[in-house]
Structure 1
Amino acid sequence: MPSPPAADSPVSDPNHRIYLDHAATSWPKAQGVAEAMVDFMTNVGASASRGNHASAMKANELTRSLRSRLTRFVNAESAECISFHAGCTSALNAVIHGLVGPSHAIGKDSHLLVSAVEHNAVLRPILMAANSANAMLEEVPSDAHGSLPVDELIGRINDATRLVALSHVSNVTGAVQPIADIGEAISRINQSRDASNQILFLCDAAQSLGYLPIDVQALGVHALAAPAHKGCGGPPGIGMLSLSPQWHDQIQPWMQGGTGHDGRSDEMPPSMPQKLEPGTMNLPAIAGWLAAMDSMATRQESALVLAERSQQLHRGLNAIEGIQVFGRPGPLPIASLDFGPDLPPDDAAAILDAEFRIEVRAGHHCAARIHKYLGTESAGTLRISGGHGTNPEEIDAVIAAVAEIAAQITSLT
């Protein structure tokens, strides 16, 4: 069992809040985020693409700067590939409903592949789009830790396959999926197909952007969706979609509205990214995300630190008798666990919060299908997820708390 925290450690303070729910959203936010949002609302306040006055130009520049920064961050082909949305879920809906449908690029009788680890933000829109297009949706199973077999996924691609959708990192177990291997296989297959029969490779990077390096061109990813509020440490309410140029003409706007471009037209602009950006942009969130991206330059050592926290978390949890741990040590400090039938995950989370001031999440984590392979379909799991700034003392504290709870269960049975 880990040693108790030192007397001068922050976690020895009974009022200290230990936040280990970063897979849901990061906290605290990156340095400068709140200040940038307040500054925009206090001193700028204008809409982008809605005027030529000085404040509107400042709003335009914020939008342009963030778009440019994200283009370089994921190595998209150009800034036109990056569109802004109300979050990662909105970005996923934009690409799925914009490309899959009875009159869309990925149309009737297509074959669509998803994995068992997918979040509902991927699964639900794909299910609806597949039904509308009379497309076949096939699920690739995972192992008991949330990892996908590469050969099996690739082997399920057939002549009718037009979409492969995959989460980069499981939000339940932290398993990092073999995106590069799958992207390479899809690229080889696409080279043998004509332009009207290409496979779209869609990646949900909700758990990876800001934590792991992402190069959409090197990975062979055509569409990548991600939010600001997780690994980037930005605000909620804004996300991005990176879409390869080959799909720009084919995607149809899933929402329509004003864009500030050619307001006389009854249709959305034909060019990217404006065709996917109706309505007034969330400029305070854009300002906050830009500030978060500025702070990323100070996190060069974070990849090594996060991997060390993952090793520490899994090593400590796996040494505790009476619990089952899902996931393996990896680049991110995420693990799910189960105390068994005598303590449901919801109750365990409540105990950690009330007795130890440790905040984690219990349940199915909006990814219900993976629990069939974990054996946790009924109640889900207790998920512990660290992030930037999670320190060793906090990991030790949650390990010690879990060990104490497990020991109490054992003593009562």
Structure 2
Amino acid sequence: MSSLPDVSSEAIMKGLKYVFRNGEDQDGTFTIPTPAPLSGGRTVDRITRDEIEIILARLNQSKSRTESSFHWEKEAEFSLLPLNGGGMFDRMFEEKQFVGQGENSVTYAIGRASPEFAAYLLCAAAQHPEIYKAPRWTILRHRVRSLIREGADSRVIDRLTGNSLLDVVAESLYVTTLRVSSEKARADFGALANSFLFHAAYNSDAAARIGLDPMFKQRSIQRLRRSQGGSFDAPRQTYEDDLVHHYLMGVAAEIPLLEYLAYYHVAEHFFVQVYNDDLVNQVRAGITDPSFSARRAKDIQAIIRVVEKAQRQVKDEGGVNEQRALQLVFDRFVTIPRLISDLDAYDNSLIDYYASSDVAFAGASKVNLRMDDEDKARSALARRIYKVRNALVHAKEGEMPKYAPFAHDEELSREIPLMRFAAEQIIIAHGKVF
């Protein structure tokens, strides 16, 4: 798990500098040269040390916080990640309030981040200075300039009803939050927030989840780019369409579960083939063994038992033995040295991570890819991958380890390179030179 961002005046100042590149910090007051507009014709060009201290006090008064939320006695604020394209969720609910009924009514409000949450997001950005170089931060700074210049969108300015420079920051960051408030103290704001999100999706098909925007945290798994600029050349092989389509789905997926399963499907494509080939090889080995005699009934019966056992497994399991089939695919198409090379080139900490870390949500054990016995390494690899796959697709209440959507995404993301690089070897092994 990643650590929670530190919240401090220094981090807020550093974050402000990321947003307003020409701003200056003088004795704890941050000032921008061109005042930013607020609603009603007002402007703001600074945030003072006192304002920052008030913000920090408010954040520190929270009863609890997570990576994407703050909880006080009678209210909480959650960062949301809309799941529909085209801003559907924001269009449906932004800047609206929904008030419940009853003695302890609850109010839900969707909109831009509060000044307090905006300050927290700045601190999150400051914790990982490298992220402000990402393309989205360039877009953010363009948005800041557009907001400050004359002729800025009046509809946007009308939303800036506060008095703080952090209100301008919140609008520029373009982060949606859900604020849940109650007339009495509560400890279940997380459940209330998820209840609202289900209600919203049920009634409008507009979906969002609680989570910190990736812009404000260091990604544990970065996108893979093997070629840069002129080093990319034309392919020399063709590949099976189904395999390519699964692989492309994995590369394009934004949800780790879908990405992992897309790569797994590449291996799964060959399960029946390798399982049947293995059965044929077992029968061939039996009948060609010098000890076998077609004249002895017990020798024939031994061969029959091999076939019946395989058929019984297929019948009982509704298909081939998947863990066995997965290992057979790896035995035939995946080489451990190349897998190690790919992983090391991508992130040289992963091999040690797999050797020292179980996959808790899947009950999957460690795998030492550098062990001398490559066959044992492939066997351990197949077991780990198969257990992760099972945890993703089986969600029955009360069953042993299972995957919790979003909660286990960071842990799952570390398993994706293992599955992706194995899938790539499988695809390449079936390429045809043209």
Common fold: TM-score over 0.5:
no
Give TM-score, length-normalised by structure 1: 0.21
Give TM-score, length-normalised by structure 2: 0.21
The structure where helix makes up a greater share of residues is: 2
